[in-house]
Chain A
Amino acid sequence: MKYLCLVYLEEKILKGFPSDTRRAISDDAMSYCEKLQKAGRLLAASPLHPVETATTVRVREGTISATDGPFAETKEQLGGFLMIDVPDLNDAIRIAAQFPAAKFGSIEVRPMKELGCAD
């Protein structure tokens, strides 16, 4: 089963860390993803640029509107994602729990529907 793990964190908290801590977190995340990939459980993963770069697109009555900012203004922002393929939710929770950002952010684990053009 495929799960999308959405990594939410307060960008302020991340920016508040000393630069070598930030580098260590990023290195840990990279090596963790490599490990998952080697085990055949990671399909894709990426950090995202800060939320100021977000654009939200809607089409209403045929008119496209593209507005500055994220879909929802919340304290924590979507900072990156991991797309994993594991047998069940317990495995997905285990993988999410070991992701470095889980210690200061939150990870939303969403099962992916088995349709569309994903395969």
Chain B
Amino acid sequence: MGDDVSTGARAKVDEFYRAESRYVLATLIRLLGDFDAAEEALQEAFSVAMEQWPRDGIPANPRAWLVSTGRFKAIDGMRRRARYDASLNELAHHIETTTGDSSEQEDEHIEDDRLRLIFTCCHPALAEEAQIPMTLREVCNLTTEEIARALLTKPATIAQRIVRAKAKIRDARIPYEVPPPSELPERIETVLRVVYLVFNEGYSASFGTSLTRAELSDEAIRLGRLLLQLLPEPEVIGLLALMLLHESRRPARTSATGDLVLLEQQDRSRWNRAQSSEGISLIERALSMKRIGPYTLQATIAAVHAEAPSAAETDWAQIVALYDLLLRVDPSPIVELNRAAAVAIRDGPAKGLALVDELLARGELATYHLAHATRADLCRRLGKNADARTSYERALALAKQGPEQRFLRQRLMELN
């Protein structure tokens, strides 16, 4: 056999690993009932492929071949270790008799297995700080180091969270299943929240020096697309639309020097039109389904911005109306703050300031830097410079991100 052929086959195995390993893993977890055993079986299956494919050619259904090889290797390994631990023999027998080896049969489950994996990684019984790394590791195939870098945590911490989550899945027996329809709305909510947290972690990092960490947002959008393919529910569509519309503004959000540029000052010609028009057509699809949730509403607000040629030409009345609707569906002080900022543009800064002051007096947003920054901005517009200064200083003390701190310092300097 020529070297070219074997090099080609090896490249094919690599390519397959990148594209398919998560599908194979998702199915192996179901067959073997254990994350670690499945991970090990996956690696074994690929090392057999590396050896056999260059020699014998690529099998007709490579994915099914990998699943079947991994399953076989796992059962074989259990039999060998059964010499030291008799219970493994029983387990091997159980897996062998309860799971089929028919390739076609496995292929039908493949999409369901992907969903099972997502719902398990985002199970509400797992800590939120574990749901995100589990999803990025098991579903997106990011390494522990990559996740640690993205979440600005130590790799050891991430590794420990993943180990603990896997132990809880095993010991508390969290089932590997897509929830029944009666529980689906609640469970989808958790999954969507995890995906949105991943996106936001990438879009506006809460700590650190860089304003955006694009890779995480890309992963979140990829996850959103996968979910939509598997579960075309209105809020799944709404979340993907929301992420795309926010992402479309990324090129205009930071200046050449890495400084924050507010929405009203952004150069809209730099917005990614392909992403925003995809977002807009997704919203149309979500709205036509008549069950409107918070993600779809937030995406619709983002779409109003995307369709406006400038901040001044934005339909602020519609934006306020959408915030009113959002407050009814999903009330939160942050939504109220955003509504107040929109009212300030529609009805003037004095009206907005009254709302923000009322909101701050309630205390829930006392430590939220953007609440103070919004108040400072409105005071500045009204010529109340002393009040503006106090609020900018409070916002600066609370902001944790380099570019935001620079922005606030700049504003303070302009006041003096």
A binds B: yes
Stretch at the interface among B136-144, B169-177, B291-299: B169-177
Tally of B interface residues using CB under 8 Å: 9
Inter-chain residue pair count (beta carbon < 8 A)? 21
Given contacts A87-B173, A89-B175, 13 further A-B contacts (CB under 8 A): A1-B173, A87-B175, A88-B173, A88-B175, A89-B172, A89-B173, A89-B174, A90-B174, A90-B175, A90-B183, A93-B125, A109-B172, A111-B171
Q: Which residues of B contact A1 (CB under 8 A)?
A: 173
Asked whether A90 lies within 8 Å of B177 as measured between CB atoms, the reply is: yes
Residues of A within 8 Å of B171, CB to CB, are: 111
Q: Looking at chain A's contact residues, is the secondary structure mostly helix, strand, loop, or mixed?
A: mixed
Instruction: A87 to B173: give the CA distance in the assembly, Å.
Output: 8
A48 to chain B, nearest CB (A): 24
Interface residues of A, count at CB 8 A? 8
A and B contact pairs by CB, cutoff 8 A, 6 listed: A87-B175, A88-B175, A90-B174, A90-B179, A93-B125, A111-B171
B contact residues vs A (CB 8 Å cutoff): 125, 171-175, 177, 179, 183
Query: CA of A87 to CA of B177 in the docked complex: distance in angstroms?
Result: 13
Q: Which residue of A lies closest to B123 (CB)?
A: A89
Which of B172, B175, B177 sits near A111, CB closer than 8 Å?
B172
Which residues from chain A contact B173 at a C-beta distance below 8 Å? 1, 87-89, 111
Distance of A93 from chain B, by nearest CB (Å):
7
Residues in chain A within 8 A of chain B (CB atoms): 1, 87-90, 93, 109, 111
Shortest distance in angstroms between B182's beta carbon and chain A's nearest beta carbon? 10
Closest approach, in angstroms, between the C-beta of B119 and any C-beta of chain A?
Answer: 10
Q: How far is the CA of A24 from the CA of B171 in the complex (A)?
A: 36
Q: Please name the residue on chain A nearest to B182 by beta carbon.
A: A94
User: Shortest Cβ distance from B78 into chain A, in angstroms?
Assistant: 19
| B-side contacts of A90, CB under 8 Å | 174-175, 177, 179, 183
List of 10 A-B pairs having minimum Cβ-Cβ separation, nearest first? A88-B175, A111-B172, A88-B173, A89-B174, A1-B173, A89-B172, A90-B175, A89-B173, A111-B171, A89-B125
Q: How far is the CB of A78 from chain B (nearest CB, A)?
A: 20
Residues of B near A93 (CB, < 8 A) are 125
Complex: how many Å from CA A95 to CA B172?
15
User: Could you tell me the distance between the alpha carbons of A1 and B175 in the complex, rounded to whole angstroms?
Assistant: 12
Closest chain-B Cβ to A84's Cβ sits at a distance in Å of: 12
In the assembled complex, the CB of B123 is this many whole angstroms from the nearest CB of chain A, namely: 8
- Which B residues are CB-close (under 8 A) to A111? 171-173
| Residues on A with beta carbons closer than 8 Å to the beta carbon of B175 | 87-90
